[in-house]
Structure 1
Amino acid sequence: MPLSKVLPYIENENYERLSPEIITKAKKSLLDFLASAYSGYQCKSSDIAFQSADWLGGKEHCSIIGTEKTVSPFAATFINATLASCMDIDDGHREPVGHPGCMIIPPVLAAGELSKNSTGKDFITAIVTGYEVGIRCGIVMNSNHGQLFYGSGGWALFGSASGLAKMKSLTGITLENALTIGEVYGPTAQCGKSIAAGSMTKESVGWGAVTAFMGVSLAEHGFTGPDNILIDKHLYNCDIEKTFETLGEKYEIRNTYFKQYPACKWAHSPITAVLQIMEESNPDLKEIDEIIIETFQKATTLNHVKPETTEAAQYSIPFLVATALYYGAVEPSHISEKHLKNDSIYNLAKKIRMIPVEDMEKEFPSKRPARVKIKMKNKSVFIKEVKLIKGDPENPLSWDDLINKFHLCSKNFIDYAHREEIVKKIINLERITNLKELTSLLK
């Protein structure tokens, strides 16, 4: 255990046993992934990923989302994963505390493009398989996140390998090694270090996805790994068997969330709270005396008042809340580097004080709550508390919401008719008989 549950699940999962709800969620996850990838073109890290991809070598058969350029499967996986994660507007799951889609979809997409007969149904099944295994591994690995906090590149690589193995129809010892090699080769993905520095490494997403692809490739050639996954039981604080006992029966992809804002999920509740205050009361920004944000302890570490990079801005609650007040929204363009020098936003951010409070701490990580108090110079106070936001599984984004997000994130890169054709293909993904019908549209 857990391989005794994981291996038969991967081998036996198939499209026909997936419910319409799960199929729809997989397609929504794909559209959200593409929206996130197009938004990533506003980050410097994506430019650098492009420039560095040549050393990943290999035959140039795989697409980079948004360009005509084709590269090796390793390079495509690295660049597409970086694109989808660098603006921090990609999907997530609260229990493993991270992002599955940016890790799982890029290698599966590359494998599907390399195959001559991969269908839309194959793609959907591989995505679901990757989410189910990866999320459960993340739940285990981050069960002690107060002491050891793995980023998505550390846990979702098991989902990357599982989805890729499913796409390749691997079985037996090859399948086993495809997963276990990542146990040793995978990055620790210590995202706390990236948060503190505001660095482009973020959660080791790009390299984690490539590591998974490499592990699968090695396994196909006979390379071996350990005899199980999640073997560091002393580091975890949960019942591993219980976490995996519902695999194939209860689908965790149902519990993923989609983001409205390009920011760490911990910032979304305070952003939502101030936007609600603005809509209901429209306080004069010049008359604000102080803004107090009460939240859980980990969120109070996102306290960079004047971020210097897009990545740092994504992890700066004061900057993001001030941006929401100033623009009445938080969109990808608002945290691009040309917007970081706005003195009006900086002056608002300086008025923000973040406080950890016990009632909010008790809610984390099942929720990411915040209570915002805007104190005015005339002594009036506006208060709003938010525990769940639109996009959370309890209040999911609709198809229309996700299509609007896709248009917002991709409008500067492809024309409207082209975008609509992509949306149509994804909504009808199960009808595609060759995955290149979709990948040809992503150039």
Structure 2
Amino acid sequence: MRAQVKLSLLDTLGVAIAGRQSRAAQIICDFADANHAGALPMLFDGRRASPAGFALAAGITIDSLDAHDGFNPSKGHIAAPMMPVALAAAYQQGSTGDALLQALILGYEFGARAAIAQHSTAPDYHTSGSWGAVAGARVAARLAGLSPTQTRHAVGIAEYYGPRSQMMRLIDHPSMLKDGAGWGAMAGASAVGLAQAGFTGAPALIVEQVPEAWADLGERWYALEQYYKPYPVCRWAQAPIEGVLAHRHAHDLTSDQVERIEVTTFHESIRLAMREPQATDEAQYSTSFPCAVALVRGDVTPADIADDALFDPEILRLSRSLVMRESDHADAAFPLRRYAKVDLVLKDGRRLEGDYVEPRWDHTAPPTPAELREKFHQYAVPVVGAPRAAAIEAAVDGLENSGLAVFFDLITAPI
């Protein structure tokens, strides 16, 4: 558990480093600096904010690049709203590295069950920030040493004030709102401060009234059942990307040989309908655009879904012409499995048919530690340089045996 959660922390920090360059991260860090005065230096920014402001800025910074880990049963992400609250609380309390690591383990276990409980009882599909606020509050309550009564109030406050934002509305209209991680993190951090001051908020219904979601606590370890992302786009688009790349490699194709891409997949993936994204947030919530990127460039990296890369004529040609079909087979398997089948129609009239594939790096076929470390360096080194990236990796690896001063200096110094 400790080894896996350290890899998850490293992966999330790599995403935050790359995400800090986004326009969304720039705006939210400026906003937190102006409106949330406090003593905590913000993630990869250095300016100081309150715990709630730190959590808000860090959550949106991480969520601004859709490359962080996720949890299939909840159709969402535990780390993005939970880790910012844990980091803020650990800094504020002067915690040890071991205490932070234990709290992150708790955060995955609590967050997974809170997500399952909410999704089993709420009719709408809410963003990760909704139940993520509850997970963040629970983690911060542990680090702050709240009593059981105070903790009960903290998670109740977080559940009540957490953002019950509608995920599919964002899928249809992509923007900087993303998966609600920042607002959920802010709600979780605020809830702990309020509970410490005597503000009441119990009970949290998804914690206290859905016992079946909590029955295996301490027996089943959901931190070992997270997926990781090889590409910085919505998980729902990643099986189609794999299908495109399988054809490209098997037939040694170049994009100019292809007339169009045809994707057969589940309903939610089809809803990612941004064929001509005008900003990176739209490109991250598209199926057609990253599939076209994969065919043209053989990969999908953060640079491929930002800035001038959004207007590459060959990528836009393939994105505009991509055909999507819904599959009963893929619909039935979702959300635990995300299937897609990709066929290519070539300009010479041939048709290349594919098999159903799944995204890479699911927990059933996880990445190796070396692959996750390589991803961290691919995201971090272009932004902070190799020496600082290596120092962050070493600090994460040594969390159990250290204080957090050096670690926090590394992750809060401005880029």
The Cα shift of 1:232 comes to: 11
- What's the CA shift string for 1:4-57, capped at 9, x where partnerless? xxxxxxxxxxxxxxxxxx111110111011011011123211111022113443
Contact 2:117 2:207 in 1 (8 A): no
**1:175 aligned residue:** 151
Contact 1:257 1:393 in 2 (8 A): yes
- What's the CA shift string for 1:405-435, capped at 9, x where partnerless? 1111112222212211111121222111x21
What aligned pairs does 1:215-364 form with structure 2 within 5 A after superposition?
215-230=191-206, 240-364=210-334
**1:200 aligned residue:** 176
Answer yes or no: is 1:43 the counterpart of 2:37: no
Q: What SS is found at the alignment partner of 2:382?
A: coil
Aligned mate of 1:80, from 52, 58, 63: 58
Deviates more, 1:414-423 or 1:27-36: 414-423
Aligned mate of 2:49, from 58, 71, 83: 71
The one-letter code of the counterpart of 2:153 is: N
Q: Pick closer, same or farther for the CA change 1:228–1:78 going to 2, 3 Å.
A: closer
- What's the CA shift string for 1:137-168, capped at 9, x where partnerless? 111222378x5111101111111111111111
Q: What SS is found at the alignment partner of 1:257?
A: coil
**2:406 aligned residue:** 437
**1:112 aligned residue:** 90
Answer yes or no: is 1:99 the counterpart of 2:77: yes
Q: What SS is found at the alignment partner of 1:74?
A: helix
Q: What is the CA–CA distance in structure 2 between the aligned matches of 1:423 and 1:227, rounded to whole Å?
A: 39
Q: What SS is found at the alignment partner of 1:368?
A: coil
The Cα shift of 1:386 comes to: 4.5
Contact 1:56 1:74 in 2 (8 A): no
- What's the CA shift string for 1:283-302, capped at 9, x where partnerless? 24223222210001111111
Q: What is the CA–CA distance in structure 1 between the aligned matches of 2:272 and 2:121, rounded to whole Å?
A: 20
The one-letter code of the counterpart of 1:32 is: D
Unaligned runs of 5+ in 2: none
**1:372 aligned residue:** 342
Aligned mate of 1:89, from 60, 63, 67: 67
Q: What is the CA–CA distance in structure 2 between the aligned matches of 1:158 and 1:115, rounded to whole Å?
A: 20
Q: What is the CA–CA distance in structure 2 between the aligned matches of 1:176 and 1:136, rounded to whole Å?
A: 16
Q: What is the CA–CA distance in structure 1 between the aligned matches of 2:341 and 2:313, rounded to whole Å?
A: 25
Q: What SS is found at the alignment partner of 2:342?
A: strand
Q: What is the CA–CA distance in structure 2 between the aligned matches of 1:350 and 1:81, rounded to whole Å?
A: 32
The Cα shift of 1:214 comes to: 0.6
Q: What is the CA–CA distance in structure 1 between the aligned matches of 2:207 and 2:18, rounded to whole Å?
A: 37
The Cα shift of 1:231 comes to: 8.2
Unaligned runs of 5+ in 1: 1-21, 234-239
The Cα shift of 1:436 comes to: 1.6
Contact 1:195 1:315 in 2 (8 A): yes
Contact 1:291 1:353 in 2 (8 A): yes
Q: What is the CA–CA distance in structure 2 between the aligned matches of 1:232 and 1:163, rounded to whole Å?
A: 17
Q: What is the CA–CA distance in structure 1 between the aligned matches of 2:208 and 2:14, rounded to whole Å?
A: 36
State the percentage of identical aligned residues.
28
- What's the CA shift string for 1:217-269, capped at 9, x where partnerless? 10011110133322897xxxxxx322210112211111011111110000010
Q: What is the CA–CA distance in structure 1 between the aligned matches of 2:144 and 2:74, rounded to whole Å?
A: 26
Q: What is the CA–CA distance in structure 2 between the aligned matches of 1:31 and 1:289, rounded to whole Å?
A: 40
What aligned pairs does 1:137-216 form with structure 2 within 5 A after superposition?
137-143=114-120, 147-216=123-192
The one-letter code of the counterpart of 1:438 is: F
Paired residue total? 412
The one-letter code of the counterpart of 1:380 is: R
Q: What SS is found at the alignment partner of 2:334?
A: coil
The Cα shift of 1:205 comes to: 1.1
Q: What is the CA–CA distance in structure 2 between the aligned matches of 1:111 and 1:170, rounded to whole Å?
A: 12
Q: What is the CA–CA distance in structure 2 between the aligned matches of 1:356 and 1:232, rounded to whole Å?
A: 38
The Cα shift of 1:72 comes to: 2.2
Deviates more, 1:367-376 or 1:72-81: 72-81
Answer yes or no: is 1:135 the counterpart of 2:112: yes
Q: What is the CA–CA distance in structure 1 between the aligned matches of 2:382 and 2:183, rounded to whole Å?
A: 27
Q: What is the CA–CA distance in structure 2 between the aligned matches of 1:227 and 1:350, rounded to whole Å?
A: 49
Deviates more, 1:359-368 or 1:46-55: 46-55
Q: What SS is found at the alignment partner of 2:163?
A: coil
Contact 1:56 1:72 in 2 (8 A): no
Q: Pick closer, same or farther for the CA change 1:231–1:404 going to 2, 3 Å.
A: closer
Q: Pick closer, same or farther for the CA change 1:298–1:194 going to 2, 3 Å.
A: same
Q: What is the CA–CA distance in structure 1 between the aligned matches of 2:13 and 2:359, rounded to whole Å?
A: 22
Contact 1:81 1:103 in 2 (8 A): yes
**2:2 aligned residue:** 23
- What's the CA shift string for 1:97-154, capped at 9, x where partnerless? 10111111111111111223x1111011111111111111111222378x51111011
Q: What SS is found at the alignment partner of 1:371?
A: strand
Q: Pick closer, same or farther for the CA change 1:204–1:232 going to 2, 3 Å.
A: farther
Q: Pick closer, same or farther for the CA change 1:90–1:386 going to 2, 3 Å.
A: farther
Q: What is the CA–CA distance in structure 1 between the aligned matches of 2:63 and 2:30, rounded to whole Å?
A: 17
- What's the CA shift string for 1:365-386, capped at 9, x where partnerless? 1111100001113332223335
- What's the CA shift string for 1:71-107, capped at 9, x where partnerless? 2222211111111111100110000110111111111
The one-letter code of the counterpart of 2:407 is: L
